[in-house]
Amino acid sequence: MAQNTQGDQMPALPRLGGRRSSYRERVADALRAALIAGELRPGEVYSAPSLAARFGVSATPVREAMLDLAKEGLVDTVPNKGFRVTAVSDRQLDEYTHIRALVEIPTVVDLARTADRVSLEALRPAAREIVTAAVAGDLIAYVEADTRFHLGLLALAGNSHLVEVVADLRKRSRLYGLTALVEAGRLLASAEEHLELLDALLERDEKAVHTIMTRHLGHVRSLWAATD
């Protein structure tokens, strides 16, 4: 497995959401997760060969994946050098988190009434993967499992456009404080909130779901996006 320091090799490339995907898409998913987790830092220029060496893959899929990320506005192309990670301001992070709260909290609360138990239980493996990644300090695996869990949960509302909006907001967010949470031994508590949320949904406890979701999204800005 990968370590959570910048200089170590990145993890193997998992498949997000259990969907079939090309190797290029899997590389892009892993790069995106590394960027969100702060493994790739804003303002720094990364060449495709150097990233390929860190991921243990060839340079071609990395270069193609970075071009995909450039189209998403997550990196800028630097001629003859590579790709520069775009910076995200505190105001942008606040705005992203605000929109997510407006969309996700009421949607997930409604699921306490509408989602069937089988569909909710199907998300438990992803929730457990988040906990496992937190214990291992594997930030990229953490972000990927977290994405899979939350987008899968929102998908139960039956609104694909809502899922796309939240997916885009998640891509643009940065969780620079994750490393500090690992070092302080606090990431596990945040990870376990996913299991707590699932249990509240299964118990049809709308008040508890609202409380957990509000607390959980609050971490995105107050803890995870910290830069110091």
pLDDT of residue 227: 54
Rounded distance, CA 82 to CA 48, Å? 6
What sign does the dihedral 84-90-190-20 (CA atoms) show? negative
Give, for all 228 residues of the chain, the pLDDT tens digit. 333 333 444 444 444 344 445 778 888 888 998 888 888 888 899 999 999 998 888 899 999 999 999 998 899 999 989 999 998 888 988 999 999 999 999 999 999 999 999 999 999 999 999 999 999 989 889 999 999 999 999 999 999 999 999 999 998 888 877 877 887 788 898 899 999 999 999 999 999 999 999 999 988 777 666 654
Q: How confident is the model over 49-93, as pLDDT tens digits? A: 999 998 888 899 999 999 999 998 899 999 989 999 998 888 988
| Sequence-distant (≥ 6) Cβ neighbours of residue 188 within 8 angstroms | 131, 134, 135
Would you report the helix, strand and coil content of the chain in percent, each value rounded to 5?
65, 5, 30
> What angle in degrees, to the nearest 10, is found between the helix axes of 187-202 and 139-155?
20
Question: How high is the pLDDT of residue 180?
Answer: 78
User: Cα separation of 23 and 41, whole Å?
Assistant: 24
**Secondary structure letter of residue 18 according to DSSP:** G
